[in-house]
Amino acid sequence: MIETEPKGQMPGGPGGGKNIIVIEDLQKRFGHLEVLKGVDLKVDQGEVVVVIGPSGSGKTTMLRCINFLEEYNGGRIYVDGELVGYREKGGKLVRRSEGEIARMRADVAMVFQSFNLFPHMTALENVALGPIQVRKVPKDQAYEKAKALLARVGLADKLDSYPSKLSGGQQQRVGIARALAMEPKIILFDEVTSALDPELVGEVLAVMKQLAQSHGVTMLVVTHEMMFAREVANRVVFMDGGKVVEEGKPEELFSNPQTERLRTFLKRFFEH
Amino acid sequence: MQAILDNWPLLIDGLVVTIEISIYVIVFGTLIGLVGGLSLLYGGSVLRGLFRAYVDIIRGLPLLVTIFLIFYGIPAVGIPMDKFPAAVLALSFFAGGHMSEIIRGAVGSIPKGQMDAAASIGLTFFPRLRYVILPQAIRRIVPPWVNLCVELIKGTSLVSLVSITDLLLSAQQILERTAQPIPFYILTAAIYFVLCYSMATLGGRLEKRFAYYD
């Protein structure tokens, strides 16, 4: 599966779209700890890719690198053909300016495990902040759109609530609306149900499922929800030890794992 | 009583000086503190080192020593400066060091995820601070900020020792003439108390106001 064309512009994939993300030989170290040891991954426009793997396998770090919340030490990440975080100058990588990095981040939305809503803003303000301050959408227009998005995630009656007054599930749905408001090229979901009480997981997964089925939204989802992966993903990627070990269509990957590591991982999961 | 009535314009002049110095010092101190606190958190190693040294020096010196150092030090190195600005500079220098530490602590206590979330929607560094980090930090800044302001208002009385006619010095000048120390000291104490107490009350209100989102 590992191809080496740079700046993926090839057609293909279930959405028939081009590669919106191309990751080549991505490496990341924290001090002496090597977290990513050469990750290769491509995501097509409109595709829903679910990343599974044991904790510490580098899934979250990979997502954070795509949004350049972490600098990476080796390899390349391209979003829509543009190198993330750096420019190539005479074979060397030079960090992009703050403004360029911000512009690229605006096109890559992220939903966080710990929600990270802005506690001093209402649900509506949380969703509208990016469009107003980054996209320079006029305020009334941005609030109209934020209202529609909050309605879409089932929170039409919580527009003026502060996050402290919302349940975890509701907060996370605001988080999803906030991501959608940027009309991003891709949304990264970082274990978005892991911090939720079990009875609240369903409402968040339902919103994500509905998003996935609406097409057009490209999703890269790190999760431990195997049922979600099985039902919703176009493709499942298994990471272990800082590398992509296996990937494929969910039905193939789950029923016929090719590697011992994936077999062990799935066994542990489905025994519980 | 008659002595107070006769001399109150002088006392008011002194009070005005005290209030003026206090306002300047609080404003400049807060500005220095904002730059200092943010530099300590987000600055490069040079900037961080500079402000670290500044804050540590300020915290290790008695205020009066700082005042004498700047008040007599600046003319000594050949920079002409009037008494009033020199005193404001000295107190602001002191205030800025402590404010830096307050702001560093408050801003640094905002969870890292807030910066991540603000970055991920595409805000650059200063908008992240302005719209996301500082509005949350301010309620943690206010209580120690008010405490420091109260200390600063009281600390302005030290400028009487470099012969600036503030509230304390004007009271002393009056009582030297009238030879009635007790009533004038009580009156002066009462005025300082009212100043500081209203500052503390204002702080309590601010704190509530910035906690609107709980």
pLDDT tens-digit readout, A143-170: 999 999 999 999 999 999 999 999 999 9
Q: Is the pLDDT of residue A2 over 60?
A: no
Q: What is the mean pLDDT of residues A165-183?
A: 97
Q: What is the mean pLDDT of residues A189-198?
A: 95
Q: Is the pLDDT of residue A197 over 70?
A: yes
Residue of B42, B112, B116, B120 best to disrupt the A interface, most CBs of A under 10 A: B120
Mean pLDDT of the residues in chain B = 92
Of B2 and A74, more confident: A74
Distance (Å, whole) CA A54 – CA A41: 18
Q: Which of B62-66, B96-100, B184-188 has the lowest mean pLDDT?
A: B184-188
**Chain B: closest CA distance from residue A42 (Å):** 21
What distance, in Å, lies between the first and last C-alpha atoms of chain A?
Answer: 31
pLDDT score of A16: 53
Q: Is the pLDDT of residue B39 over 60?
A: yes
Contact across the interface for A102 and B214, Cβ inside 8 Å: no
Amino acid at A266: L
Would you mind telling me the total number of residues written for chain A in this entry? 272
Q: Looking at beta carbons, which residues of chain B come within 8 Å of A130?
A: 121-123
Q: Is the pLDDT of residue A113 over 80?
A: yes
**Chain B: closest CA distance from residue A174 (Å):** 13
Q: What is the mean pLDDT of residues A190-217?
A: 92
| A69, A120, A182 ranked by CB distance to B122: nearest | A182
pLDDT score of B204: 87
**Chain A: closest CA distance from residue B125 (Å):** 8
Of B6 and A206, more confident: A206
Residue of B121, B126, B134, B141 best to disrupt the A interface, most CBs of A under 10 A: B121
> Which residue in chain B is spatially nearest to A104 when comparing CA positions?
B122
Of B163 and A38, more confident: A38
Task: Read off the pLDDT of residues B112-125 as tens digits, 9 standing for 90 and up.
Answer: 999 999 999 999 99
Task: Read off the pLDDT of residues B116-156 as tens digits, 9 standing for 90 and up.
Answer: 999 999 999 999 999 999 999 999 999 999 999 999 999 99
- Tell me: domain B2-209, CATH 2.30.29.30, correct? no
Helix (H, G, I), strand (E, B) or coil at A27: strand
Q: What is the mean pLDDT of residues A71-89?
A: 94
Banded model confidence at residue A128, pLDDT cuts 50, 70, 90: very high
Banded model confidence at residue A78, pLDDT cuts 50, 70, 90: very high
pLDDT score of B207: 87
Helix (H, G, I), strand (E, B) or coil at A2: coil
**Chain B: closest CA distance from residue A13 (Å):** 26
Contact across the interface for B113 and A114, Cβ inside 8 Å: yes
Q: Looking at beta carbons, which residues of chain B come within 8 Å of A163?
A: 213
The answer to whether A27 and A74 are in contact (CB under 8 A) is yes
Q: Torsion over CA of A145, A152, A178 and A206, rounded to 10 degrees?
A: -170
Q: Which of B23, B62, B55 is nearest to B38 (CA)?
A: B55
Percentage of residues in chain B having pLDDT higher than 70: 100
Q: Is the pLDDT of residue B84 over 60?
A: yes
Contact across the interface for B118 and A118, Cβ inside 8 Å: yes
Q: Looking at beta carbons, which residues of chain A come within 8 Å of B119?
A: 67, 69, 102, 105
Task: Read off the pLDDT of residues B156-206 as tens digits, 9 standing for 90 and up.
Answer: 999 888 888 888 888 888 888 887 788 888 888 999 999 999 999 998 899
**Chain B: closest CA distance from residue A78 (Å):** 16
Percentage of residues in chain A having pLDDT higher than 70: 93
Helix (H, G, I), strand (E, B) or coil at A86: strand
**pTM of this prediction exceeds 0.90:** no
Contact across the interface for B213 and A130, Cβ inside 8 Å: no
> Which residue in chain B is spatially nearest to A70 when comparing CA positions?
B116
Contact across the interface for A133 and B118, Cβ inside 8 Å: no
pLDDT score of A11: 43
Segments making up each domain of chain B, as ranges: 2-209
Distance (Å, whole) CA B62 – CA B78: 25
> Which residue in chain A is spatially nearest to B124 when comparing CA positions?
A102
**Chain A: closest CA distance from residue B207 (Å):** 14
pLDDT score of A272: 57
Distance (Å, whole) CA B14 – CA B75: 25
**How many contacts (CB atoms, under 8 Å) link A and B?**
70
Banded model confidence at residue A3, pLDDT cuts 50, 70, 90: very low
Sign of CA dihedral B124, A104, A97, B45: positive
| A67, A120, A134 ranked by CB distance to B136: nearest | A120
| A69, A103, A162 ranked by CB distance to B122: nearest | A103
Give the C-alpha distances (Å, rounded to integers) separating A177 from A39, A113, A193: 29, 15, 15
CB neighbours of B47 closer than 8 A, spacing ≥ 6? B39
Burial of A19 (0-12, 13-18, 19+ CB in 10 A): buried
Q: Looking at beta carbons, which residues of chain A come within 8 Å of B127?
A: 133
**Chain B: closest CA distance from residue A121 (Å):** 7
The answer to whether A167 and A161 are in contact (CB under 8 A) is no
What distance, in Å, lies between the first and last C-alpha atoms of chain B?
Answer: 51
Distance (Å, whole) CA A221 – CA A21: 13
Q: Looking at beta carbons, which residues of chain A come within 8 Å of B116?
A: 64, 69, 110, 112, 116
Q: What is the mean pLDDT of residues A6-30?
A: 71
| A110, A133, A163 ranked by CB distance to B120: nearest | A110
Q: What is the mean pLDDT of residues B23-40?
A: 97
Q: Looking at beta carbons, which residues of chain A come within 8 Å of B136?
A: 118-120
pLDDT score of B97: 96
The CA radius of gyration of chain B, in Å to the nearest whole number, is 20
Q: Is the pLDDT of residue A5 over 70?
A: no
